[in-house]
Structure 1
Amino acid sequence: MRVDETPVVLKLTEHERLSPDRSLDLVRHSPAGFEWGYTGSGPAQLACALLLDYFDDESVAHQYYIQFRNEVVSQLVCGGPADCWHLTGDDIEAALGGFQDRHAPTPDGGVASTSLPVNWSVVSRADRTVFQRQDIDHYVVLGDGSEEWLIILCSQGDRAYPAPLDHRTLPVETDPAPAVQELVAESNDLIEPDEEDT
């Protein structure tokens, strides 16, 4: 609900407010708090907080919060006599079940990555691995060089060649997964719309 125009999310079974604090330790889309009804940073923070609170599992929250925001939180509207929205545990479980059953391939045959948010898929090639967004032309390319990993976040857009947005280099003995996850999070942050534009 909104109290004096401020978004307030109540956990009715515990009779307490849902705080963004715990979710901010996992992702920092909106330190100012929650929102709903569109696909911006406030709804992303709420989606993460709801999944984290309900499932008490950081990996579940981190993997599915973007899709949960896009398909559930963006659709929430305050209404009825109490001028609020309601979301039940059954609603949350049904949405997550739908996400887990869906494995959308990338144009060149990739499948959903188990270690990244569900709007990303992975394609393995002989010389590199490509993580591709399903909702915008962002890619993270993981190349196995002779002495180091080169991990690049790039955007195809309307260009003939991909435009690099950021990159990381790591020794080959280092696990590249955390660096890939950092660039994926950076991509998610880059495309958040300004709240005043929604």
Structure 2
Amino acid sequence: MNGNARRTTSNVVQTEALANRRDDSVEYVGFRIDGQAVVLNLSEHQRLTPDRSLDLVNHSPTGYEWGYAGSGPAQLACGLLLDYYNDAQVAREHYIAFRNRVISQLECDGPAACWHLTGEEIDAAMATITDDVVALPDGGGPSPSLPENWRTVTRPDRRVFQRADRDHYIVLGEGTDGWLAVLCSQGDRAYPAPLASRTVSGDADVDRAVRALVDESNDLIEPPEGEC
């Protein structure tokens, strides 16, 4: 699959979500109580918790954050998009770009020491997001050679493997003497941080090197019971 096809598919899904957005006025507010981040959906008089978004991405099970590009803001971005559009694919594909564009800029300022984000502002931001789509598993199915908590992702210039239950990735690219496989994690960083790597010669078993990094990742953070 080429990059243009990936973006075209993403844009179609994004356009459908915008077309199906809520007609009523929606507003979210964020503030702190004893230092703890709290986000409310004012329209529904409900507190927005990470629980639902954690089924899609697991960046910050301890809670939301904002004001920078890290794991807590990533969880909030996914949670907000999922709550507002009620579309898992849109939330999963666009939450990183939405975090970078919107959530990282939120500040608790003014007399009320809080931030406000309306549905119109969410729509306006999403209308400008066309790239930076998060890699999704091809067809949502597991790779036959990897544990079930790992997926194979299509990229035009390299092979990428993505852990479904934690923010771990393996990127396989051409190195100076063969292949370089790198295990990395987004974590609290704006860019992925390498955790481990394998240098594979041209005639070596690349799949075995990838599987070794997969096992290393699973040993670092065990997947939930029944997913491996």
TM category (shorter chain) comes to 0.5 to 0.7
Greater relative contact order (Cα 8 A, min sep 6): structure 1 or 2?
2
Q: Deviations over 1:58-77 (max 9, x none)?
A: 11111111111111101000
Structure 2 vs 1, CA of residues 114 and 83 (structure 1 numbering), >3 Å: closer, same or farther? same
What is the aligned partner in structure 2 of residue 141 from structure 1? 172
Q: Residues of 2 paired with 1:42 and 1:18: CA distance?
A: 13
The amino acid across from 2:87 in the alignment is: D
Deviations 1:79-108 (CA, angstroms, capped at 9, x unpaired): 1221110011111111111112xx47xxxx
- TM normalised by structure 2 equals 0.51
Structure 1 residue 122 displacement after superposition: 3.3
Matched, 1:86 2:120: no
Do 2:93 and 2:134's aligned partners in 1 also have CA atoms closer than 8 Å? no
Name which of 95, 112, 115 aligns with 2:125: 95
Query: Which stretches in structure 1 are left out of the alignment for 5+ residues?
Result: 105-111, 132-137, 144-149, 156-162, 171-178, 187-198
Which amino acid in 1 is paired with 2:196? Answer: L
Give percent identity, aligned residues only.
Answer: 48
Question: Amino acid of the residue matched to residue 156 of structure 2?
Answer: V
The answer to whether 1:9 aligns with 2:39 is: yes
Residue 115 in structure 1 maps to residue 145 in structure 2: no
Aligned to 2:51: 21
Q: Provide the alpha-carbon RMSD of the alignment.
A: 3.6
Q: Deviations over 1:154-176 (max 9, x none)?
A: 68xxxxxxx89368949xxxxxx
The counterpart of 2:74, out of the listed 32, 37, 44, is 44
Shift of the 11–115 alpha-carbon distance from structure 1 to 2, 3 Å rule, reads same
Distance 1:142 1:77, change over 3 A: same
The number of aligned residues is: 138
Residues 122, 11 of structure 1: alpha-carbon distance in 2 compared, 3 angstrom cutoff: same
Change (3 A) 1:154 1:41: closer
Q: Distance in 2 between matches of 1:65 and 1:130?
A: 22
Following superposition, the deviation at residue 40 of structure 1 comes to 1.3
User: Matched residues in 1 for 2:112 and 2:93: separation?
Assistant: 33
2:186 equivalent to 1:165: no
Where 1:87 maps in the other structure, the secondary structure is strand
Cα distance, 1:24–1:94 mapped onto 2, change above 3 Å? same
Runs of 4+ in 1 over 3 A off after TM superposition: 112-116, 150-155, 163-170
Which SS does the other structure have where 1:8 is aligned? strand
TM-score normalised by L of structure 1: 0.57
